[in-house]
Each structure stands twice: as structure tokens, then as C-alpha cells.
Chains A and B, each alone.
Chain A
Amino acid sequence: MSIKEYRTAAEARGGLLVLKGTPGVAFGDRVRITDHTGGVRNGQVIRTADDEVLVLVFEGTDDLDLAETWVRFLDEPMEIALSPEILGREFNGLGEPRDGRPPILSNIRRAIAGSAINPAARTYPREFIQTGISAIDGLNSLVRGQKLPIFSGSGLPHNRLAAQIVRQARLKGEDTSFSVVFAAMGVSYTDARFFRDELASSGVLRNVVMFINLADDPPVERLLLPRTALTAAEYLAFDLDRHVLVVMTDMTYYAEALREVATAKGDVPARKGYPGYLYSDLAEIYERCGRIHERHGSITMMPVVSMPSDDITHPIPDLTGYITEGQIVLSRDLHNRGIYPPVHVSPSLSRLMKDGIGKDDTREDHPRVAAQLYALYARAQETRNLASIIGADELSERDRRYLHFADAFDARFVGQGEDEDRSIEATLNLAWELISQFPREALTRLSETDLAKYHQGED
């Protein structure tokens, strides 16, 4: 039946094509559509009944002349060809080359939908990755196999931060670098070029696969792109034993494309017009990351999510946070105060940090130093609020110390250069320098042993 071509399209709207009289079509089947100009579009069956089939058209349904539209069901799922040759290449969401070079030829073809990793086959991620960035390494450590998104906002330097992480990330005491899968959905040409140039100038391009769908490319294709990219990442990690870092930007555009299609399908909306299955859909993507028993490679994921109107409760960051293993939140306030990277540590979190740090991984005092810095910073934020009400002059000596701490913490601990690659020891030492402004009695999150060993103030 794969050879049969139908000209029975009855309706087209919002990227969807309705076909009549095409019985026995498989759910999820890949579809090839030839329009009246001879142009080819790609699609997928998203509902199938005896008398009617619904096809999602990735290039969209604009300018289709239904009477001259030919549809072929290919009798295969959406899949891509994979070989080591994908490294150094650039593709679109369907896995077709975008770099003018020939398509990948290989016997290895994988369905991009993937399937769920059996939880019983997973290994808990626990290897500390040093990114060289204090706000991350010290307080929200990343481990190999973790999914840790960057929550950002328009105009904030999430791309620069992601690029810095790609450049600097490595395992402590190892210098094998990561292979990078870069997935761009709906980003501007400038942003895509920024990454390409960044990766080229740090000489890692040979180790990078790029999947790109720009702002002016068909939005429906964004629904495939992360899946295509992750299929490539799984191949690199679990067939070729590589440690893969997947950077996906911007998941917000992905979710918007999903909403567009859901609305066209008439799905019941949950919040802000996003369909109720946005959570499961995002989870299918994010949960492809991790470590697996007896496999040497790993997939670490760093999606960028821009928060519409800087609102962390917006469904896209909110559902992302419910799925990922923490989040790095960027702050407009810090950015406006000239602090780079503007990481707001209070709402930031790494859930997998606990098993990746400490005595055997970073340093024995690390967990308590992080807890103490958080406690001091939380108190300092309260003091800042108080100072803004009653004026800094009215504060007690003790409170003023917290204010100084907050300023030094923002400027020196969080703030660092875009080329500054701090070792975890440097990060922890810097933390002790800030902590030591306080007398030992104020530092109850640290153990007495920690204080004896690292506190720099007089007894």
C-alpha cells in the first residue's frame, strides 16, 4: 500500500490535512505529500479511522490546492539515518541536511519517537561536571546524565551562558570533552550563528551535530526537531559510547508550536491554551536523558526555556520544572546590575547535586558550604527588603553585615568573566572568603570541623 497515491484530501487547516477514503492507514505513519507545484511536503498520521485520516503536515498546509494534492503513505514511522558521519553536520527537524552536503547513508535507521527507558535499566547519575561557573558548580552542581534547564527571559544572556558551559564543561580530573548535540527551535538566524561561531572558534565543531529550525522555518517541524536531535544523541551516547551534552533552545517555541497544532486539532486546553498533554509531551523529550546500566556513554541535557514575561509560573517553565532535575534561573535584576552570569540562586536548584558532591567527588565541606551560602543569602535578601523600607542607615551592625555579604556574593561569587573557568576548589575557597565575614556563631549550617579548618576569621 506504500506505493498507492491518494488525491482525496478533503480539508486543510492549521497544518492539518484531512483525507477521506484511505482505509487501513497506520497510526503514526510517515506521509509524503506532493502539492500542485510538484513540491514535496512531509507529514505524519495523527488519527486514523476507516473513513477518515488526519495528517499533520510539517511544512504546514499553506497554499495547498486540494484537488491537486497527492498523498502517499510510506508505511514506516518517522525515522532518521545515523552514522558517525553526523558529527560536524547540520540538519533540519526531519534529519535532512541543511549544510548543502549529501544526506547520511546508513543501514542504521531509528524511529525518532524513541521509546521509554526502563527505569530498572537506569543508573543514578552521580559524576560531578565542572562547568567553571561558581553559581552552578558551587550551589547547583550539574552531574553527568542530568537534565538541567536554563530559565531565562528575552534579552538575557542564556545563549552566552550555554556556550560558556559547552566550552568549559568537563569531568573533574578528566579531559575528554563532551560531544554536543545542538537543537535550535524557532531561534533567530543571529542566535544560530552565534552558536555556530562559538563552537567553531573553540574548535569543537567536529564533535557537534546541529539540528536547526529558524524562526522563519515551518513551526510544525519544531515538533519533530528535539526528537530527531535526541535520536542522534542516543546513538552517540549508547551506540558510540560518547558523553553527550544536548543544548536545546528554545523550548518555549517548541511548546508554542505544540499549542498551535493542538488548537487546530480542537484539543481541550488546560492552562493558557496549552493542551493538557503538554506535560507528558515535554517529559517524552526530557526523560530521554540519563545514564543506563553497562553503557559507557551518557546524555546530559541543558534546555533553554525563556519565561514569557519573566513569569516562572507560566505553563512552559512550570511544567519543565516539574520534569527536569532542577533549573538555573536567570534574573533580569542581576543582568541590569551588570552581573554576568545573572544566575538568581534562590529559585535555582540542582536535585542531583547531593550525590555528585562531597568528600569523594568535590570536597568534604561542599554540601554544607552550599547550604550555608543559601541560608546567608536568604537572610541577606530579607535584609535588603528591610533596608528598602526603613533605609540602610537604620539597620543594625549585624544586618549591615548581611547587606555587604549580599553585594559581595552577587558581584564576586555569582559574577565572573565569560572566559573565566574557575576550578571547584577556587569556587569553594571564594565561598569561604565570603562566609568568613561572619563570626562562627552565625554559621550554624557548617560543622564545627568545617569552621576549624576553613574559617578565616580570628577565633
Chain B
Amino acid sequence: MSDSRRSGVIRDINGPIVTIEAPGIRSGEQVRIGEAGLLGEVISLKGEQAVVQTYESTDGVRPGEPAVGLGWPLSVELGPGLLGGIFDGIQRPLEQIALASGDYIRRGLSIPALDRSRLWAFEPSPGLEPGTPLAGGMVLGTVQETATILHRILVPPGVEGELLELAPAGEYEIEATIAQVRDARGPGRDESRRLYLYHRWPVRRPRPYSQRDDGVAPLITGQRVIDSFFPLLKGGKGAVPGPFGAGKTMVQQQIARWSNADIVIYVGCGERGNELVDVLESFPQLDDPHTGRKLMERTLLVANTSNMPVVAREASIYVGITMAEYYRDMGYDVVMLADSTSRWAEALREVSGRLGQMPVEEGYPAYLASRLAAFYERAGRVETCASASGSVTLIGAVSPPGGDFSEPVTSHTKDIIETFWALSKELADARHYPSIDWDTSFSGHVPTAAQWWADEVDHGWAARRAQALKLLSRDAELSRIVNLVGPEALSDVQRWELEGAALVKEGILQQSALDEVDTFCSPPRQFALLDLVLWIYDQGAELVGRGVPVREVQSLPFLARVRRLKSIYGNDQLEGIRHFRAEVGQALDGLRLEYDQGEASR
């Protein structure tokens, strides 16, 4: 390795941007800067001079100090022991850093992501004999990483050859050799090459797969406005834009908690330290509704909080997505949440500004859109190199300045993603949570989701969804009229439409993350509530149509209870909802009869 290291000298320090003179250094190469050994990355070359962005503060570094090229690009370690961990923007383990450097993060630390001394019980794949041809992505064996996640030890992509030896079942450290292959493509052609329980992968290069597949099933998040109105498929890309305080982090944390993914990667990119602590403290206590195991066993955090160096923020989302692709390659459905992609874009802007690149819009460089698109392109459902099916679902929060969705990051993101959950300040101010605006949000995945709902839950889903959305848009129209000429101008039928829309909003769309019963709503319960509310609306509409005064229908006592039902009957109490429906049916029949008799005697 020593021959691949190129040493040089520092010439200029401009905050995180350091110019070094280092002949032979390559673009993208990792560099150790100065006597403190700060980590950085070459971002541009001009003759013998290289511009390095450093992931740590350069305070105290002087021109004339050494700079050493390490010979490889920014890479992550991929192997068992990632789950349950929290890593910084360049995959250093923050818990170990706390042990080594105390409550505040010191500079120049190099602690590997994976624990070197921990033993893992390795089980070789059956049928792998010496002589078996191997290719990247094939499964050498397994390690039980957590109670639910079987970690498949993969042949690193790019390795191709013939198996010479595979380790027998047993306990191994991460750096133990578990296989030797004759690598036909490696550097010393046809030489034997060792494979370990982990390998490294450069974060800026997407990991290969066999082929891309279309999404087939929605990611179930347990949030009604998402699953029942604006679904996102497993392998899809979604965005949550919204002004500060509208609920982006809450939406993402709810998905991290309750979605039916196998693996959740949560990247805190330039956001608050306390939000990560919230996850760290609460997830080990919470049960995954799908497996019954603790949520932390399937979760991994990447944290570059807003006060941590800005360049590592740019790297953090690539570190996150590379780990996501790695678990996808094992055949898992992975969800990656990036909160917030705007902070990533700002880090890009900051570096490009310091390089004196020409800004195009609001200071952002011209390549913002293409970088964003390339990043989101790493989401998808694929057939892996080992012919399994895996997916990465990517959900990015967007934090538009001043809540203005026409700004560059939001508008470019909107062009790229498939599902858009637009958060509204008006809804958030009225404490209508999640504040996902049904008017401006969209999902390109409704037809596929409809098929899934029809197969798994109820054939009526698509029709009920459409009916609810129609009611909501009628509500907007009618509210405009009311605001012009007052409520007296409305007919009884129209008033009942308003009441129906209110029922949809309060009984279905509003869902508090803090409500123990309602924080996760299973698909059957989602449909039961939606169907109930719209059935009540239909019944009421029929009564009003017969001439029953709307006031009488509106004063039916069960209308308050419908709004509360979501917090009363949990996912395993659907019979409570059915029972309630029967009661409402009787009450309505009563009213109908009363009215018919009244009519008849008139």
C-alpha cells in the first residue's frame, strides 16, 4: 500500500477547501491533511495542484504542512455489524468516537466502522465446492447479524473467478479470511485472492445489479394519507418538501418506525442532533409491527448534524445509499430516508462557491440537477447479481427557503421523484398532522398500489380513494363560495358535502404520530375507516336527497364518535369498527323511518 501513497504539501487553506501540491494524486482520492491527519477528498486537479475538500475543521493547519494521498476514493466498509449503529458522514462509528474522544468530536480520529474484535457465526452456503465459479454478488455464506436479519456474505462486485477454499462453519472476526478465489479479473491476474466477512466499496459508484425490475408492492407505512392516498412503491423515490416545522422529520421517522421494509437507513444530513437521539433512545424500546422485534435491530443511522463539518454532509448521503444498496444486494427491501437533501445541496453549493464556480440559480452550481437525479437514480427494485429480488426506496426531505416550492432544490427534485408529499404550513399551523396537502401532493404509483390493495385488502379501495379525493376537491370549491358570499348560499346537499369532507379530514387524514393507538394503522384498518366514513357520507347524502334537513343529519350523535374512532379501535379491533357501523346503520334506519312516516302522515 505504501507505494500507492503520494505525499505532497499544503499551499492554501480556505476553510474546508485546501489546495495541495501532490504530483500524481488522482481525482476523488482520499487525502490526509496536515500534521493533524484530517481526512479529505480530492475534488479537482490542475497540473500538480489538487483541491481537497476536508471533512473536518482545518483550524490550526498551516501551509507547508504535509498532505498524503491514500490511494483510494471515499469508501465504506460493508459487512455484519452495521445494523443498530450510528455513523458520521464518512462512516466513523459515533459510539466508539464517544468512547475515544468524549462528548465532543475530536478531529483526525480514524476508527473503522466495523468492530474488529467481534466474532460472528459464519455458515457457508451449501454446494460451494472448491472449483465452483464465483462472480460478484454471489452469496458465500451467512451470518445472523440481528435476530431478524440474516446477513449474506457477498462476493464483492468485480471479483470473478473460481473458488479455491471456503471456510467451514465457525466463529470469525470480520477480518478473517473466509474464502480464497482465483480472481480472473483482479490485479495480479489468476492469483489467489482472499475474501473476508466484509469488503469496501467506493460510495460515489452505484453497486451493480443484474437488472432493474418494476415495483410491484407499495411500501406500507401505516400512515393513512400516504398508503391510502399517495402511495409509494418499494423501490420508488419520494420527496417530502415543506417549510420548517411542517412535519418532514416526523413523516420520515414514522416511516422509519412503521414501514414494512426489512432494513431502514436514516440519514440525518445537516439536521438536529436531538432528532437522532430521539431515534437512538426510542427505537430500542419499540417493536416492529411486522416482526415483533425491536426496531433498532433493522435500523442504521448516519449522522452529520447541522453543526458538523459541511463537507462530510455532502458525503453522508452517498455513505447512506451505498449501505442501502449493499443490503439490497442481499435481497432485502431497504428504505433510506435522507433528512434533508436541501442541506446536502447547500453543502454542494458551499464547496462550489469556494472553488469560484459560476453559480446559476440562488448560488447553486449548474450541476445541482444532474447530481440530484443521479442520486435518486440509485433507488429502485432490482434483480441482484445473485438473482434475488431487492429494493432501495429513497425518500428525501426538502427544506425550501421561506417555504417556497419554486426554489431550485424543490423544483428539480419534483421532476425526478415519483411520489410527492407536499407539506403545508396552513395545515401544520392548524395542527392538522401529517400536514400532507392533498391538493398539491401526487403519486405516480396509484395503479400498481390499487392492484395490491385489491389483492390483499379490498376491491373497493380505488373507488373509495377516488371518492374521498373528489369530496376534498368539492370542499375546496364550496369553501371558496362560502368565503365570498357566506354559508347561507349553500344548499343542504352542499352542506352535507362539506360535512363529508370534514369527516374525511378529521377521521381519516389526520393521524397523530403521538397517539399510541393510531400511530400505525394497518392496511385493513385503513380501509375499514375509509370505507366507514364514506359509507356514512353516502347514507347521509341519501337522506338529504330525500329531503331530510341537513341539520338533522348533522346533529346525529355518532358523527363526533366517527372522528375519534381511529384512536379507539386498534389494528386488532376491527370488529369494534364493524359493530359501530351496525349501530350507525340502526340510527340511520331510525331516522329514515321517522322521516318516511312524517312524510306519509303529512
CA distance A113 to B307 in the complex (A): 11
Residue pair A50, B64 in contact (C-beta under 8 Å):
yes
Q: Does A121 contact B (CB under 8 A)?
A: yes
Q: Does B371 contact A (CB under 8 A)?
A: no
Residue pair A386, B486 in contact (C-beta under 8 Å):
yes
Q: Does B117 contact A (CB under 8 A)?
A: no
Which one of A118, A351, A440, A448 lies within 8 Å of B245 (CB-CB)? A351
CA distance A318 to B484 in the complex (A): 33
Q: Does B350 contact A (CB under 8 A)?
A: yes
Residue pair B401, A271 in contact (C-beta under 8 Å):
yes
Q: Does A280 contact B (CB under 8 A)?
A: yes
Residue pair A116, B105 in contact (C-beta under 8 Å):
yes
Residue pair B11, A322 in contact (C-beta under 8 Å):
no
CA distance A25 to B64 in the complex (A): 9
The listed residue with most A CB atoms (<10 A of its CB), out of B62, B487, B488, is: B62
CA distance A240 to B36 in the complex (A): 30
Residue pair A119, B277 in contact (C-beta under 8 Å):
yes
Which one of A24, A268, A315 lies within 8 Å of B359 (CB-CB)? A268
Residue pair A277, B310 in contact (C-beta under 8 Å):
yes
Pick out which of these stretches binds chain B: A32-40, A82-90, A185-193, A285-293. Answer: A285-293
In the complex, the chain A residue whose C-beta lies closest to that of B301 is: A119
Which one of A115, A145, A290, A323 lies within 8 Å of B306 (CB-CB)? A323
CA distance A25 to B60 in the complex (A): 9
Residue pair B353, A26 in contact (C-beta under 8 Å):
no
CA distance A397 to B350 in the complex (A): 57
Residue pair B306, A283 in contact (C-beta under 8 Å):
yes
Give the distance to chain B from A281, nearest Cβ to Cβ, in Å: 10
Residue pair B362, A120 in contact (C-beta under 8 Å):
no
Q: Does A96 contact B (CB under 8 A)?
A: no
CA distance A448 to B557 in the complex (A): 14
Q: Does B116 contact A (CB under 8 A)?
A: no
In the complex, the chain B residue whose C-beta lies closest to that of A1 is: B62
Which one of B62, B245, B274, B310 lies within 8 Å of A321 (CB-CB)? B245
Residue pair A280, B59 in contact (C-beta under 8 Å):
no
> Which residues of chain A from 67 to 110 have a CB within 8 Å of any chain B CB?
77
Chain A residues in 8 Å Cβ range of B273: 117, 119, 122, 287, 290
Q: Does A361 contact B (CB under 8 A)?
A: no
Residue pair B563, A444 in contact (C-beta under 8 Å):
yes
CA distance A115 to B567 in the complex (A): 44
Residue pair A116, B308 in contact (C-beta under 8 Å):
yes
Assess A77 versus B401: contact at CB under 8 Å? Given A120-B86, A394-B486.
no
CA distance A254 to B528 in the complex (A): 54
Residue pair B63, A24 in contact (C-beta under 8 Å):
yes
Q: Does A327 contact B (CB under 8 A)?
A: yes
Give the distance to chain A from B190, nearest Cβ to Cβ, in Å: 45
Chain A residues in 8 Å Cβ range of B486: 386, 389-390, 394
Assess A280 versus B270: contact at CB under 8 Å? Given A47-B14, A268-B359, A349-B245.
yes
Pick out which of these stretches binds chain B: A9-17, A332-340, A367-375, A415-423. Answer: A367-375
Residue pair B431, A48 in contact (C-beta under 8 Å):
no
Q: Does B58 contact A (CB under 8 A)?
A: yes
Chain B residues in 8 Å Cβ range of A27: 13, 15, 58-62
Q: Does B439 contact A (CB under 8 A)?
A: no
Which one of A115, A323, A378, A396 lies within 8 Å of B105 (CB-CB)? A115
CA distance A120 to B12 in the complex (A): 34
Give the distance to chain A from B322, nearest Cβ to Cβ, in Å: 21
Q: Does A267 contact B (CB under 8 A)?
A: yes
Secondary structure dominating the interface of B: mixed
Residue pair B11, A119 in contact (C-beta under 8 Å):
no
Secondary structure dominating the interface of A: mixed
Q: Does A28 contact B (CB under 8 A)?
A: yes
In the complex, the chain B residue whose C-beta lies closest to that of A294 is: B103
In the complex, the chain A residue whose C-beta lies closest to that of B281 is: A124
The listed residue with most B CB atoms (<10 A of its CB), out of A27, A47, A292, A390, is: A27
In the complex, the chain A residue whose C-beta lies closest to that of B250 is: A351
The listed residue with most B CB atoms (<10 A of its CB), out of A287, A288, A290, is: A287
Residue pair A48, B62 in contact (C-beta under 8 Å):
yes
Residue pair B14, A389 in contact (C-beta under 8 Å):
no
> Which residues of chain A from 381 to 412 have a CB within 8 Å of any chain B CB?
385-386, 389-390, 394, 396, 399
Q: Does A226 contact B (CB under 8 A)?
A: no
> Which residues of chain B from 1 to 54 have a CB within 8 Å of any chain A CB?
11-15, 19
Residue pair B303, A119 in contact (C-beta under 8 Å):
yes
Residue pair A270, B363 in contact (C-beta under 8 Å):
yes
Q: Does B97 contact A (CB under 8 A)?
A: yes
In the complex, the chain B residue whose C-beta lies closest to that of A45 is: B13
Residue pair A124, B274 in contact (C-beta under 8 Å):
yes
Assess A50 versus B303: contact at CB under 8 Å? Given A118-B98, A313-B402.
no
Chain B residues in 8 Å Cβ range of A378: 429-432
Residue pair B303, A48 in contact (C-beta under 8 Å):
no
Q: Does B403 contact A (CB under 8 A)?
A: yes
Which one of B19, B104, B429 lies within 8 Å of A117 (CB-CB)? B104
Q: Does B276 contact A (CB under 8 A)?
A: yes
Residue pair A119, B62 in contact (C-beta under 8 Å):
no
Q: Does B466 contact A (CB under 8 A)?
A: no
The listed residue with most B CB atoms (<10 A of its CB), out of A238, A279, A352, is: A279
Chain B 48-82 near chain A by CB (<8 Å), digits 1 or 0: 00000000011111111000000000000000000
Q: Does A269 contact B (CB under 8 A)?
A: yes
The listed residue with most A CB atoms (<10 A of its CB), out of B14, B15, B281, B402, is: B402
Assess A49 versus B11: contact at CB under 8 Å? Given A120-B98, A287-B273.
yes
Residue pair A276, B350 in contact (C-beta under 8 Å):
yes
> Which residues of chain B from 177 to 197 have a CB within 8 Å of any chain A CB?
none
Q: Does A154 contact B (CB under 8 A)?
A: no
Residue pair B63, A23 in contact (C-beta under 8 Å):
yes
Q: Does B485 contact A (CB under 8 A)?
A: yes
CA distance A159 to B4 in the complex (A): 61
In the complex, the chain A residue whose C-beta lies closest to that of B479 is: A382
CA distance A267 to B244 in the complex (A): 26
Assess A287 versus B306: contact at CB under 8 Å? Given A120-B95, A375-B431, A390-B486.
yes
Chain B residues in 8 Å Cβ range of A290: 273-274
Chain B residues in 8 Å Cβ range of A276: 346, 349-350, 353, 363
> Which residues of chain A from 302 to 357 have a CB within 8 Å of any chain B CB?
313-315, 318-319, 321-323, 325-327, 346-347, 349, 351-352, 354
Chain B residues in 8 Å Cβ range of A46: 15
Assess A271 versus B362: contact at CB under 8 Å? Given A27-B13, A290-B273, A374-B430.
yes
Give the distance to chain A from B464, nearest Cβ to Cβ, in Å: 22
Chain B residues in 8 Å Cβ range of A319: 401
Q: Does B512 contact A (CB under 8 A)?
A: yes
User: Ordered nearest first, which 3 A-B pairs have the shortest CB separation?
Assistant: A283-B306, A313-B402, A378-B430
> What are 24 A-B pairs at a CB distance below 8 A?
A25-B63, A27-B61, A28-B60, A49-B63, A111-B59, A113-B57, A117-B307, A122-B273, A123-B277, A268-B359, A280-B310, A292-B103, A318-B403, A321-B245, A322-B399, A323-B272, A323-B306, A347-B425, A351-B245, A374-B430, A389-B486, A394-B486, A444-B564, A447-B564
Residues of A within 8 A of B (CB): 23-29, 46-50, 77, 111, 113-125, 145, 238, 267-271, 276-277, 279-280, 283-284, 286-288, 290, 292-293, 295, 313-315, 318-319, 321-323, 325-327, 346-347, 349, 351-352, 354, 367, 371, 374-375, 378-379, 385-386, 389-390, 394, 396, 399, 440-444, 447-448
In addition to A50-B12, A121-B102, A293-B103, 5 A-B residue pairs with Cβ atoms within 8 Å of each other are: A119-B86, A276-B363, A390-B485, A390-B486, A441-B560
